[in-house]
Copies of this chain bind each other. A is one copy, B any other.
Amino acid sequence: MRKYLFSGKLSVIACLLLCVVLSGCAPEVRRFGSVIALKGEKRELYNKLHADPWPEVVGKLQECNIRNYSIYQGELEKGKWYLFSYFEYTGQDLDADMKSLADDPKTQEWWKLTDPCQIRIPGTPEGQQWLSMKEVYHSK
């Protein structure tokens, strides 16, 4: 009987320890907010593409440790449309993952359709499509 109880308890303790270890292993998350302008006449095309994105492109984002990725659209002044993006990066090497994404042929093909819909914000660094924004507040 004693052995019975002990083995049950041991398993529960092992399970709890596993939970603690696993939660401790949760990847560190880095958040990114970016912005770009959207050509009004390309809005319909842009939204259509994103309503039914290519599985290879979505899969590549996953592979490159990009999670919880949203794009929002708003008209900030009459006829002036903008896109805001938010995503979380859970990998260990952002530069390597961004390079892998940029080198992916299917992603390049996708960008050939989406880039012409957008207008880069003045001041966006060379070789970058979206302008990174400063995070001024975050609460969990």
**Interface residues in chain A, defined as those with a beta carbon under 8 Å from any beta carbon in chain B:** 3-4, 7-8, 10-12, 15, 19, 31, 33, 35, 37, 46-47, 50-51, 53, 58, 61-62, 66-78, 82-84, 86, 121-123, 131, 133-140
Q: Are B133 and A68 touching (Cβ within 8 A)?
A: no
A121 and B37 CA atoms in complex are apart in Å by 16
* Closest chain B residue, CB of each to CB of A84: B84
A6 and B61 CA atoms in complex are apart in Å by 43
Q: Is the interface of A mostly helix, strand, loop or mixed?
A: strand
User: Least Cβ distance of A2 to chain B in Å?
Assistant: 11
Q: Are B46 and A136 touching (Cβ within 8 A)?
A: yes
A34 and B74 CA atoms in complex are apart in Å by 8
Question: Given A15-B15, A76-B121, A77-B122, A33 and B137 touching (CB < 8 A)?
Answer: no
A-B contact list, 12 entries, CB within 8 Å: A4-B4, A7-B7, A7-B8, A33-B72, A47-B136, A58-B139, A70-B86, A70-B135, A70-B138, A72-B133, A72-B134, A86-B86
User: Least Cβ distance of A64 to chain B in Å?
Assistant: 12
Residues of B within 8 A of A69 (CB): 137-139
Interface-central residue, A46, A47, A51, A72, by most chain B CB under 10 Å: A72
